[in-house]
Amino acid sequence: MRASERAYATLRREILDWELPPGTVLGEIEQSERLGVSRTPLRSALAALTAEGLVGAQSGRGLVVTPVSVDDARELFEVRDALEQKAARLAARSADRELFEGLAAEFADAARLIEDEDPARHAYYDLVARFDDALDASAANGFLVASLKGVRTHLTRIRRLAIDNPDRLRDAAAEHRLIAEAIAAGDEELAAAATRVHLHRSLANILAAAETVTDHARQHGYDRPLQEREQK
């Protein structure tokens, strides 16, 4: 892997996992020394991240990790709803039945992944990522898949706006199971409807959790934007 690719992969992972939270300044000298690369490949990595919307220029601060907000969540879910319902319909027409039956079975057993000691629950989110990959491959529409991948990149960060509630994750696993079962059965209508319900509940959870954080902040005498508070 080239130095620029290595720097890009590391920075992207750190941004999506909020190891580099919104507002973090990405100084060339500091980051090149930290990542062990020269400034030329670092610039290439930062340019790629800027193209994805994960990094942007801020007056007086240089390049910073871009902010996320509740408004971003609402807008992204509007796009996601349309794209993922269509993807589910397309997948139900031609998907590998056994593949989605297997994914449904994994989601039925997802409680053990959610209860894992890993606070980031990587095993569970890896399962979700495999479901997304299977959905994309089955939809077989390059333009649709490219749009979905861009939306999901930002949704990965927005997911951190929500309190990581194990009960919600178990419900989400059950919702994914129903989508997978509908696709395996070739039922377009059910696949789209189950997708819509899942996305509705996911957004509602994010908005409710963000409101809880905001109320707590107000009670304690400060009311800065959520993305600023997450840096602390």
Q: d(Cα 207, Cα 71) in Å, to the nearest integer?
A: 9
Helix residue spans in the chain (DSSP H): 3-16, 28-35, 39-51, 70-94, 97-108, 111-114, 122-139, 142-158, 166-184, 188-219, 226-229
Task: Give the number of C-alpha atoms closer than 13 A to the C-alpha of residue 31, restricted to the C-beta side.
Answer: 27
pLDDT in tens, 104-121: 999 999 999 998 777 778
Residues 157, 92 contacting (CB under 8 angstroms): no
Strand partners, 55: 65
Q: d(Cα 200, Cα 120) in Å, to the nearest integer?
A: 23
pTM reported for the whole predicted model: 0.81
In sequence order, the β-bridge partners of residue 64 are 25, 56
Q: pLDDT, tens digit, for every residue of 154-179?
A: 988 887 766 668 889 999 999 999 99
